[in-house]
Amino acid sequence: MYVTPEQIAAANKAGVETLIGLANTQFAALERLSALNFNLAKSAFEESVGYTKSLLGAKDPQEFASLSATAAQPALEKALSYTRSVYEIATQTQAEMNKFAEAQAGEFNKNMAGYLDKVSKNAPAGSDVVIAAVKSALAATNSAYDSINRATKQASELAETNFAAATTVFKEAKKKAA
């Protein structure tokens, strides 16, 4: 029951491919965040130029005060939209990372089960207790992983629900203010 060079090479290749996949996921998220931030900065600059021009064009203090009062509302809406976009990017990235983790855990479990089967066939008498203990520990680890995964998904769903509720409250407050 020896590990062959081909098995080592295959394991290394799989590990490198996994790391490349993770790096691609992270770069894609960074690219989306960069584009979002660039567009936000560009939009904020254009709006501030327009706002400054409108303030400079105010004919009296009342018009100046009116322009100042109405400037905050669009900024709040954009901040909420930006936060929502960042949240969506983070959620998508987390989902992709979870897929990688689940695939790796599944592959590890499959390999470990195969390894334990091989060991049990060639093991000396009396080692079945140790192998059973390892299998039990592996099952307990899988159960804990599943529980943590479910809790993480529930927390994510709760955060999304809270964000949606906050958005609704903001929109209702905006309607009442108008």
Q: Are 107 and 169 in contact (CB under 8 A)?
A: no
Does position 1 have pLDDT exceeding 60, yes or no? no
Angle between helices 61-122 and 128-177 (to 10 degrees): 170
Contacts of 90 (CB under 8 A, 6+ apart): 29
Q: Give the single-character DSSP code of 60.
A: S
From the list 59, 61, 57, the residue with the least C-alpha distance to 69 is 61
pLDDT digits (tens, 9 = 90+) for 122-143: 777 777 788 788 888 888 887 8
The sign one gets for the Cα dihedral 72, 73, 76, 82 is: negative
What's the predicted TM-score (pTM) here? 0.68
C-alpha 147 chain-centroid distance: 19
Structural domain count of the chain: 1
pLDDT digits (tens, 9 = 90+) for 92-113: 998 888 888 888 888 888 888 8
Q: What is the mean pLDDT of the chain?
A: 83
What domain range is 51 assigned to?
A: 5-177
Contacts of 58 (CB under 8 A, 6+ apart): 64, 67
Q: Give the single-character DSSP code of 170.
A: H
